[in-house]
């Protein structure tokens, strides 16, 4: 219940979602000007999922991400300067300038890697969970993936093995209603992804992915259960990306989604929802809000300066192995 969530956690989640949103929004102009050359998939609108899941994770817990990876990296404790530098392809980036937006990696925060291959990191998360189990560690792994991953065979194979061995892995499906540009109803015979957990002997639950408190409460219990040998869970978080599949546009010109649909989901802004709740409880004041936004904007300005001042990698020096140091 909400009364069991500390004020510190509530405010931390609020700040984290703002950091993700403001970082993402700040990329719009650099992308339009082609200052950032790598493809960028924005997480705007989905901030509550990464935040609610990651806030209760430890550093040694591992998160495996997707091509839409910025939110997961920041929520897991990633440095915005290192992230910005990575987007600019600089040596000081979290992947040494060699990964770009779709292949973030940072062992420092427990994010071994991201992949643009749909469902590609799900079996890696299961492998990490198997290692934790064999080593008798109480760490957990988390696999973030989109609804399109439910079309891939590795998704089912991973769930089967995790359920069979009762591994400490949390499967988090960020269902934003579209697989690239295809509505989920056009590519899945059964759109209730959470129900697929039942056949693999694990709990499956659908949550409001725009309600960070609901995400947090379900994730906290799932993480605790996994640590205590109760096995995996499949969380289907219903959410929506405000921007297009890739880049800063809204994709409305493609005729694949309507303005009304977008406006409906924007009215369910996860940040505004938590903000309203915190105001009601007296945990957040207007001056607190202004200060948090001002501090976040200053942080991002410093990240831009850091990225632009940093050097590009030396093409004659292979630093790939150091990116994935353990």
pLDDT band at 319 (very low <50, low <70, confident <90, very high): low
Residue 307 tokens, joined: 């990225």
Strands 62-65 and 141-146: parallel
- Tokens 């940093």 correspond to 310
Dump pLDDT digits (tens) for 189-240.
788 999 999 999 999 999 999 999 999 999 999 999 999 999 999 999 999 9
d(CA 47, CA 14): 10
- Tokens 């009762």 correspond to 166
Dump pLDDT digits (tens) for 10-22.
999 999 999 999 9
State the CB neighbour count (10 A cutoff) for residue 306. Answer: 18
Judged against a pLDDT cut of 50, whether residue 300 lies above it is answered with: yes
Question: Which of 23-37, 56-70, 160-174, 311-325 has the lowest average pLDDT?
Answer: 311-325
State the average pLDDT over residues 134-155: 95
pLDDT band at 318 (very low <50, low <70, confident <90, very high): low
d(CA 174, CA 176): 6
State the average pLDDT over residues 73-101: 95
Q: How far apart are the first and last CA of the chain?
A: 37
State the average pLDDT over residues 77-101: 95
Q: Which residues of 123-152 are buried (b: 16+ CB within 10 A; e: fewer)?
A: bbbbbbbbebbeeeeebbbbbbbbbbbbeb
Half-sphere exposure of 214 (CA within 13 A, CB side): 14
* CATH architecture, domain 2-307: 3-Layer(aba) Sandwich (3.40)
Q: Are 304 and 84 in contact (CB under 8 A)?
A: yes
Judged against a pLDDT cut of 70, whether residue 322 lies above it is answered with: no
Secondary structure in 3-state letters for 114-163: ECCCCCCCHHHHHHHHHHHHHCCCCCCEEEEEEHHHHHCHHHHHHHHHHH
Q: What is the pLDDT of residue 261?
A: 84
Note the Cα 75 to chain centre separation in Å. Answer: 7
Q: What is the pLDDT of residue 267?
A: 95
CA-to-CA dists, residue 307 to 80, 89, 276, angstroms: 10, 9, 34
Q: Where are the domains of the chain?
A: 2-307
Strands 141-146 and 169-175: parallel
CA-to-CA dists, residue 112 to 78, 282, 315, angstroms: 12, 39, 23
Q: What is the pLDDT of residue 289?
A: 97
- Tokens 């987007």 correspond to 87
Judged against a pLDDT cut of 70, whether residue 93 lies above it is answered with: yes
Q: What is the pLDDT of residue 299?
A: 98
Dump pLDDT digits (tens) for 230-269.
999 999 999 999 998 888 888 888 778 889 988 999 999 9
State the average pLDDT over residues 93-116: 93
CB-based contacts of 261, cutoff 8 Å, min separation 6: none
Question: Measured on CA atoms in the order 235, 241, 247, 248, is the torsion positive or negative?
Answer: negative
Q: What is the pLDDT of residue 1?
A: 46
Q: What is the pLDDT of residue 86?
A: 97
Q: What is the pLDDT of residue 38?
A: 92
- Percent over 70 (pLDDT), the chain: 96
pLDDT band at 324 (very low <50, low <70, confident <90, very high): very low
Q: What is the mean pLDDT of the chain?
A: 92
Q: What is the pLDDT of residue 112?
A: 94
Q: What is the pLDDT of residue 326?
A: 43
């Amino acid at each position: 219940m909400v009364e069991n969530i500390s004020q510190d956690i509530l405010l931390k989640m609020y700040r984290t979602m703002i950091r993700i949103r403001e970082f993402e929004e700040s990329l719009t102009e650099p992308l339009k000007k082609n200052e950032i050359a790598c493809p960028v998939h924005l997480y705007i609108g989905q901030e509550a999922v990464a935040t609610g899941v990651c806030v209760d994770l430890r550093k040694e817990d591992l998160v495996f991400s997707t091509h839409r990876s910025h939110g997961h990296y920041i929520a897991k404790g990633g440095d915005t300067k290192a992230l910005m530098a990575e987007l600019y392809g600089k040596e000081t980036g979290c992947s040494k300038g060699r990964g770009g937006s779709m292949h973030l990696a940072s062992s420092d925060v427990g994010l071994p890697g991201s992949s643009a291959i749909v469902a590609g990191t799900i079996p890696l998360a299961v492998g990490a969970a198997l290692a934790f189990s064999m080593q008798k560690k109480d760490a957990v792994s988390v696999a973030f993936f989109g609804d399109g991953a439910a079309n891939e065979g590795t998704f089912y194979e991973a769930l089967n093995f995790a359920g069979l061995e009762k591994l400490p892995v949390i499967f988090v499906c960020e269902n934003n209603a579209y697989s690239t540009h295809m509505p989920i109803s056009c590519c899945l015979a059964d759109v209730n992804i959470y129900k697929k957990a039942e056949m693999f002997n694990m709990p499956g639950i659908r949550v409001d992915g725009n309600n960070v408190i609901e995400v947090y409460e379900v994730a906290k219990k799932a993480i605790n259960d996994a640590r205590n040998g109760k096995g995996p869970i499949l969380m289907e978080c219903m959410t929506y990306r405000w921007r297009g599949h890739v880049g800063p546009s809204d994709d409305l010109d493609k005729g694949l989604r309507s303005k009304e649909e977008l406006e409906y989901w924007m009215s369910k802004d996860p940040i505004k929802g938590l903000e309203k709740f915190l105001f009601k409880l007296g945990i957040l004041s207007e001056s607190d809000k202004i200060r948090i936004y001002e501090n976040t904007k200053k942080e991002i300005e410093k990240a831009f300066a850091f990225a632009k001042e940093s050097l590009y990698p030396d093409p004659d020096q292979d630093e790939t192995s150091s990116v994935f140091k353990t």
